A and B are shown apart, each in its own frame.
Chain A
């Protein structure tokens, strides 16, 4: 499937190359750099590029490109999915997957890639198995390795690979047995000029942090499982029981994982918890005026927190001179993004941002396009779809674990057209 993998950064350096079959010269990356030059933003590089003899499949994450090279037909999505799995693994090991974190941990990166792929085909991609094979770096281990000359390669044998539940390692022991579940819902919406909702849907997921000893078998039931009609599960969830009884039964992996993600489509109505009143007038030459007001709407008695309004301004805008009744605003003249950090929206007077904008006269004789407004917010202790966990039972182990469920609603791709 994969012949080679190149890790590149946006400035055009090859940070790392790894070959599973014969060596492919790194000049192959020139094709990729060409495509990168042509693209207007790093996001815009096409994920699959065809060259005379090779095919380049790439993934972009945090200023780093992962470019896989294959010579033969292979399902592109499989390669992409695998590369994202690599990114996720790096994130788990080094907290972030970036240029510098890879450079700092070359050895571990190579070790990981060696285990994740065998002859170009995925071998062990479960993080539990990998952590058994290669210990994640931490400060103390780094020091002791320096002193003793050891590596992070684990000395015990990775028995997890052999079991039928590859996602859980064996012999887990904790003094405090606890499991936390975060029900997070993201609202995706497009709101048009008049303030009516063009499109809205909910993307939800349940992230877990399970620190339970032994082999616990958990069962989670929901108050209203009917809400979840479009779900995807972690492989540990027993699908048949979900189909028949609408409950989640699973042996959890150790540590953090995403238990399920669900999607509540645009067919059902979604309550939009906030509104933005806007009047943005950008006129060529004379400058323009901005007037933004944000406020809560249908927020079910909860308070909107961490509200951030972002307006990517057109290129011709030079500077903004505004005043905010609450929070701070900033305008980045290079990226042309106006950011207004509102913070918490209390009941009472809704926060406003007013002022004038100076527009470059020379840029284009035509009209200035209207920007779109992106909004981010957070509502604690609320799942906007109404999903509720009913109870969580544990079988298979004797101790009583500590259980906790947290709800959170966030703005996903929340966009207001002006």
Chain B
């Protein structure tokens, strides 16, 4: 029985009896019920409503939508409308696939279909999004406005969508970004010209083949540039930065089409200095199937015609093997020619020489042609190439000879005078060469330069006149040409010959030739007075411009890379041009959606992920709050189900992790280290919540609802295998318009690649919570008042900046170190705005806060809070602050370098004496740094030592240590939450200090700090 078959219940008693019904159920036969009362109801819709299995609902929809009968279009519309709101994401995916089918059947439904697409785009499961974008591209690619509010979500989930969906999304994003952001290379126009100084012809062609609008744009840009004395530095829109950042890992995809899609995105959108990342990935694709090679090489050829230095390091990858198919060989040759520069030309020419002698005729011809192009483009090697080509003329292979003659002809046009001997030797070839193209070239050459070789030219004409009848048309035409030129320069010697040739041409078979002969005869040997005759010399003997030898891939640039149109170099049906960047970027606010805050540029690694998770959590809380304010029953119910689902999922995760823990107990230590090195979204989240509820009033108090949901989470452990859970869940009903407010990955994709952080540390979550569940952070015991100078008022031209560690929990993330920045205006002019513009952070660090600009009146000071996650390192956070004063001086940039001593990267935690001992015993060995020294403070003065330690590090003294001559402190690092313990003990006259910390570096540095300040 075929799957996808749907049977119709005829309500025959033997089919409707219990036994048979049960059998249907067991055998998973899909049955369309026939309602007893109203048989005219749509059967399919019933099926959709009633079948409990999502796969059957999906199959039914697939079957229904594949029926190409226009009559059922309304039913299909109903089914689609129903299914896009289905609980199962798989059904929604199938619904997305059904939309183009219905559109093909009945384009009038477009309006409603677009609504459905809009709804599907808001979906948060990765299964659906790829298909939704596919439907969007098929039906309404022009409705770019629908994308605004999903832009950030699409960027973020891109890595988890299936590969075909990724291609669709990337292509959509390319178009979208072209309409929404300004050209990232605007500010660098000048530098570009410098960059390509050795190929000025390229530059001019550039302008030549770009169309009118581009020219206008350039003109406008130039005007603009003139207006502004200083070109404004380009600040990349954070949204564009996010897109680039999120697509970059996809270059590592195994699917070549994804890689190429990302490559074209970078080519069309990225700033010039970032494009080169795609080169390596594209070169990797060259190892693929020949079809892939062909498409990729075509794209590389286009890119390399414009941006040659990108592929220069990979030059050797384009060397030709004899086993390559011919069209690949030709493409590689094209790329090699594009890549030729002064430095590598020797190597390339050597390669070309070997290609000339292969048994592939086409390659031979193309290689000689390529040598000619190199000779033209690179002036230094013109002579070398020319002599090489002349040597080739002596070859036995006729094709080689013919082609080199043709190429030499072109080269000679560029510098004819110096090469009399070459022309002579070519004249000799006229007896041997048979290929008409080559013969024509020789004849033309002699005619053109008959003055340089006055002795041989008439002789050649004599020879050619002899064989005129047997020649091909091209050659005959050139003979006529030469005859005329000779007549004009050397009338007495050549007149009879010329007349003879004209006579022959008069009776030639080709009408073109007869025409030409008649025209020429009347022009140069007029029967009656002809005014044109006196101009004949001017007509025929003007110096001809040298032909430009250039890449045939220049004009392909008008098409978007990677498209069919680009490959075929013709406008295909359904191709739409990539829009040009707008002059002024449209307002980016349209992309602001609750839950997707403006991404922090330059953020990297996992730390900001947690931060963003935290922020999304906040916003989702906010939205929940809003819901309870204006709640109606429906949304209430939905929310419940969502919470239940997320709760049970997270419990499933815990489950899973517990299992794994048992499986690998001996590697516990390692794990703990790893887990601390990583930040997992999930358990961070929980940590957060616990902390917030236990601490004194956090600024955003979680609504009571979340507390209960948390309880639910804990109460709900189930023993089902995790995958079952995933399947049986209702995946969170899509909750209308505001569903985008939820974090995109909230459905707990436990095993998605991008959610690596959460997965990898999931197994360790229980160990963490076990050991730390009773650990509470304490408020700072001592807040040092001293502040350090960040910027001198002289250096800052009136603005001074101080910073101070407040030792309070940061508002932005619990991994961040709270820093108070104090700006003071010492000048007489008010500062209009001071704002943070750029953060150059080492990997792993992140900064939040100070998002708004502040103004500063003279003599006043202002403080702002900043959260910096130093990732438990002593790396500097370098921030750029842009200040503008109200005088004309314009905005200035100041660089601030913040460094946190290790002591400030801690937070105090309360430990009991037993806990302290237990933890200390765990952190022995390498994790312990200890030493003895003579103290500058009296050993017995406990208070002084405590004060000193408090001053240095944000830790807390452990209460109730039994031995009198021990002082213990506890704390943990902010970023990785690694426990840190300090122990002082008396040994004779000396003080023994031991610092235990998993992060050995932190431990040893703190040890050094304390020792320095305490030792004599």
Which A residues contact B (CB, under 8 angstroms)?
Answer: 21-22, 40-41, 43-44, 46-48, 50, 53, 55, 58-60, 70-78, 80-84, 118-119, 121-123, 125, 133, 151, 153-155, 157-159, 161-166, 170-171, 188, 190, 192, 198-199, 201, 203, 215, 217, 230-241, 243-245, 249, 251, 258, 261, 263, 265-267, 312, 314-315, 365-367, 369-372, 374, 393-398, 413, 415, 417
Which residues in B have their C-beta under 8 angstroms from that of A240?
605-606, 753-754, 756-757
Asked if residues B171 and A75 are in contact (CB atoms below 8 Å), the reply is: yes
Are A266's CB and B314's CB within 8 A?
A: yes
Residues of A within 8 A of B8 (CB): none
B754 and A233 contact, CB distance less than 8 A? no
Please give, as numbers and ranges, the residues of chain B lying within 8 Å of A315 by CB-CB distance.
Answer: 359
A384 to B751, CA, bound (A): 34
Are B295 and A76 in touch, CB under 8 angstroms?
A: yes
- Contact status of A164 and B573, CB under 8 A, knowing A239-B756, A370-B357: no
Contact indicator B660/A217 (Cβ below 8 Å): yes
A104 vs B938: C-alpha distance in the bound complex, in angstroms? 94
26 intermolecular pairs with C-beta atoms under 8 Å apart: A40-B326, A46-B294, A55-B568, A60-B291, A76-B564, A78-B167, A80-B292, A121-B100, A121-B164, A157-B55, A158-B55, A162-B88, A164-B750, A165-B752, A188-B287, A201-B317, A231-B252, A232-B252, A232-B259, A233-B252, A233-B253, A234-B254, A239-B753, A263-B284, A312-B322, A396-B656
In the complex the two chains form, what is the Cα distance from A369 to B285 in whole Å?
31
A365 to B256, CA, bound (A): 46
**Chain B: CB-nearest residue to A58:** B291
- Assuming the contacts A75-B257, A77-B260, A235-B254, asked whether A48 and B567 have C-beta atoms less than 8 A apart, the reply is yes
CA distance A386 to B254 in the complex (A): 23
Distance in angstroms between the alpha carbons of A334 and B677 in the assembled complex: 64
A369 to B357, CA, bound (A): 7
Contact of A413 among B134, B252, B321 (CB under 8 A): B321
Known: A71-B573, A83-B291, A217-B660. 4 other contacts (CB 8 A): A44-B326, A163-B723, A232-B254, A237-B753
Interface centre among B104, B292, B357, B605 (most CB of A within 10 A): B292
Chain A neighbourhood of B253, CB < 8 A: 232-233, 235
> Closest 6 CB pairs between A and B?
A238-B756, A72-B574, A240-B756, A47-B291, A78-B257, A369-B359
Contact assessment for B289 and A59 in the assembled complex, using a CB-CB cutoff below 8 Å:
yes
Tell me the complex Cα distance, A405–B574, Å: 50
Q: Is the CB of A235 within 8 A of B753?
A: yes
Beta-carbon contact of B562 and A77 below 8 Å: yes
Decide if B261 is an interface residue (CB 8 Å cutoff).
yes
Residue of B nearest to A161 (CB): B90
**Per a CB cutoff under 8 Å, which of A22, A215, A234 touches B722?**
A215
Is residue B582 contacting chain A, with contact meaning CB distance below 8 A? no
Q: How far is the CA of A55 from the CA of B572 in the complex (A)?
A: 9
Given A74-B564, A232-B284, A239-B754, A81 contacting B359 (CB threshold 8 A): no
Residue with the highest number of chain B CB atoms closer than 10 Å, among A245, A261, A395: A395
Cβ–Cβ < 8 Å partners of A123 in chain B: 97
Tell me whether B421 is interfacial, beta carbon within 8 Å. Answer: no
Q: How far is the CB of A265 from chain B (nearest CB, A)?
A: 7
Q: Is B473 an interface residue (CB 8 A)?
A: no
Can you name the residue of chain B whose Cβ is closest to the Cβ of A229?
B280
Interface of B is mostly: helix
- Which residue of A50, A119, A154 contacts B100 across the interface (Cβ within 8 Å)? A119
Chain B residues with Cβ below 8 Å from A258 are 254
Determine whether B162 belongs to the interface, using a CB cutoff of 8 Å to chain A: yes
- Encode contact with A along B665-678: 1 for CB under 8 Å, 0 otherwise: 00100000000011
A40 vs chain B, min Cβ distance (A): 7
In angstroms, Cα B563 to Cα A50, docked, is 13
Assembled-state Cα–Cα distance A40/B327 (Å): 11
Check A41/B325 contact, CB under 8 A, given A71-B573, A198-B316, A198-B319. Answer: yes
Contact pick for B751, options A164, A263, A265, CB 8 Å = A164
Q: Is there an interface contact between B357 and A73, defined as CB atoms closer than 8 Å?
A: no
Partner of B292, one of A81, A164, A171, A203: A81
Please, which residues of chain B bring their CB within 8 A of the CB of A155?
A: 27-28
Whether B283 pairs with A265 at a CB distance below 8 angstroms is yes
B575 close to chain A: CB less than 8 A = yes
Tell me whether B704 is interfacial, beta carbon within 8 Å. Answer: no
Residues of B within 8 A of A151 (CB): 2
Give complex CA distance A234, B358 in Å: 39
B162–A367 CB distance below 8 A: no
B residues less than 8 Å from A78 (CB atoms): 164, 167, 257, 261
Task: Note all chain A residues with C-beta closer than 8 A to B319.
Answer: 190, 198-199
A/B pair count, beta carbons within 8 Å: 267
Interface string of B82-114 (1 = CB under 8 A from A): 000000111000100100110010000000000
B291 neighbours in A (Cβ, 8 Å): 47, 58-60, 80, 83-84
B290: chain A residues within 8 A (beta carbon): 43, 47, 60
* A164-B722 Cα distance, complex, nearest whole Å: 12
Contact A119 B660 (CB under 8 A): no
Chain B interface category by residue count: 35 or more
Across the interface, do B252 and A415 meet the contact criterion of CB distance under 8 Å? no
CB atoms of B722 and A47 under 8 A apart: no
Q: Are A249 and B756 in contact (CB under 8 A)?
A: yes
The reply to whether B55 and A73 contact each other, CB–CB distance below 8 Å, is no
Asked whether A266 lies within 8 Å of B316 as measured between CB atoms, the reply is: yes
Contact pick for B726, options A77, A164, A263, CB 8 Å: A164
Set of chain A residues within 8 Å of B757, measured between Cβ atoms: 240-241
How far is B143's CA from A379's CA once the two chains are assembled, in angstroms? 57
Residues of A within 8 A of B283 (CB): 263, 265
Query: CA separation between A240 and B164, bound complex, in Å?
Result: 21
**Complex CA distance for A188 and B160, rounded to whole angstroms:** 33
- Does residue B187 face the partner (Cβ distance < 8 Å to A)? no
A200 to B423, CA, bound (A): 42
Q: Chain A's nearest CB lies how many Å from the CB of B559?
A: 10
Give the CA-CA distance A70 to B351 in the complex, in Å.
39
Chain B minimum-CB-distance residue to A74: B564
Q: Which residues of chain B have C-beta atoms less than 8 A from A394's C-beta?
A: 663
Task: Compute how far the CA of A163 lies from the CA of B723 in the bound complex, rounded to whole angstroms.
Answer: 8
The answer, yes or no, to whether B760 is at the interface (CB within 8 Å) is yes
Chain B residues with CB below 8 A from A121, complex form: 97, 100, 131, 134, 164
**Contact of A119 with B90 in the complex, beta carbons under 8 Å:** no
**Is B888 engaged at the interface, CB distance under 8 Å to the other chain?**
no
- Which of chain B's residues have a CB closer than 8 A to the CB of A162? 54-55, 88-90, 127, 727
CA distance A158 to B59 in the complex (A): 11
Residue of B with least CB distance to A70 = B564
From A44, A59, A75, A365, contact of B167 by CB (8 A): A75
How does the 8 Å CB contact mask read for B238-253 relative to A, with 1 for contact and 0 for none?
A: 0000000000010011
- B167 and A397 contact, CB distance less than 8 A: no
A75-B257, A166-B162 known; A251-B751 Cβ under 8 A: yes
Residue of A nearest to B264 (CB): A75
- B396 contacts which chain A residues (CB < 8 A)? 365-367
Task: Tell me the minimal C-beta distance from A412 to chain B in angstroms.
Answer: 8
A73 surroundings in chain B (CB, below 8 A) = 563-565, 572-575
A81 B255 Cβ-Cβ under 8 A: yes
Whole-angstrom CA separation of A239 from B323 in the bound complex: 35
Query: What 0/1 readout, one digit per residue, does chain B (564-592) give for beta carbons within 8 Å of chain A?
Result: 11011010111100000000000000000
Q: What residues of B have a CB within 8 angstroms of the CB of A60 in the complex?
A: 290-291
Chain A proximity of B197: nearest CB distance (Å): 26
Contact of A233 among B56, B254, B257 (CB under 8 A): B254
In whole angstroms, how far apart are the Cα atoms of A208 and B358 in the complex?
Answer: 40
Q: What residue in chain A is nearest B159 (Cβ atoms)?
A: A239
Q: Which residue of B lies closest to A170 (CB)?
A: B723
Q: How far is the CB of B51 from chain A (nearest CB, A)?
A: 12
| Interface residues in B218-245 (C-beta closer than 8 Å to A) | none
- Please judge, given known A-B contacts A190-B321, A232-B253, whether A396 and B605 are in contact too, CB under 8 Å: no
| Known contacts A199-B319, A266-B317: A261-B254 contact under CB 8 Å | yes
Q: List the B side residues contacting A372 at CB < 8 Å.
A: 321-322
Decide: B397 and A366 in contact? CB cutoff 8 A: yes
Residues of A within 8 A of B751 (CB): 164-165, 215, 251
